[in-house]
Amino acid sequence: MAWYAKTRFYHIVDLTAWQLYPCPELLTRICPQYRPTMSQLQHQYPAIIDWTPFPALRDRLIRLHAANPQIDQIFVDIVSSYVVEASMADLVFGAPQTTVYVRVTDVAEGAAALGTKDIDPSTILPAPDVASLFSVAECAQAVFKLLNMDHGVSQYKLDPSFFGTYPELFDPENDIAAKGVPIRPNSQTRLPCPRRLNELIFRTYQSFMQFHTFAPL
């Protein structure tokens, strides 16, 4: 829920509606990056693949992992690998104009303490050092806003290390692997894999669906 609200992934409302009721009207409302490919329309596969925002990657998942019992873990690894490219000079004072990439979950976690507080990045950045980008909530929030991490997935790419784990999913013709140097906090957390359904998990999903239904667009 915190990730969903922070990154404003509200555009997946229409995708979820289409999953529940796949009709032509809902299909036209789906965000272009999530609009089903021909493979999705022609084959049976785990529905969680629909939530991957890279069409070519969805096709590879269907072809190579549709029967994989670990597909949930693969999807979690995809979401944990979302990054945005940036110039180091815009983030750290005195740094060169080097292309770097920052993991979205690292920045969202660092900024979580501020909630939805609005910050002007120009008053905070560049930060004095890389560590401050993640350990100081105001800096993390400024990075989050400067890199438009709450504007959907249009500029998201994947950490190249993801393809080190899943080399069969790499497509050299599909420009979704980030370029540059990674910058990270000292320790990283990963999103948890879905657990077996129990009453607590059911209430969490129920709360998510209520939020999903009434999310501002």
pLDDT in the model for residue 53: 92
Tokens 């209430």 sit on residue = 203
pLDDT in the model for residue 59: 97
Long-range contact pairs involving 57-62 (C-beta distance under 8 Å, separation at least 24):
57/169, 57/171, 57/174, 57/176, 60/168, 60/169, 60/171, 61/169
How many CA atoms lie within 13 Å of 175's alpha carbon, on the beta-carbon side? 4
In the chain, domain spans: 2-211
Residue 45's nearest CA partner among 31, 59, 30, 34 is 59
pLDDT in the model for residue 119: 85
Q: Report the 10 Å Cβ neighbour count for 184.
A: 15
Q: Are 158 and 84 in contact (CB under 8 A)?
A: no
Read off the pLDDT of each residue in 25-31 and give the average, rounded to a whole number. 89
Q: Are 99 and 180 in contact (CB under 8 A)?
A: yes
CA 158/CA 163 separation, integer angstroms: 9
CA 54/CA 157 separation, integer angstroms: 9
Read off the pLDDT of residues 86-114 as tens digits, 9 standing for 90 and up.
Answer: 999 999 999 999 999 999 989 988 887 76
pLDDT in the model for residue 159: 97
More confident residue, 41 or 188: 41
pLDDT in the model for residue 215: 54
Read off the pLDDT of residues 117-164 as tens digits, 9 standing for 90 and up.
Answer: 678 999 999 999 999 999 999 999 999 999 988 777 888 999 999 999
Residue 8 has pLDDT above 80, yes or no: no
Residue 9 has pLDDT above 70, yes or no: no
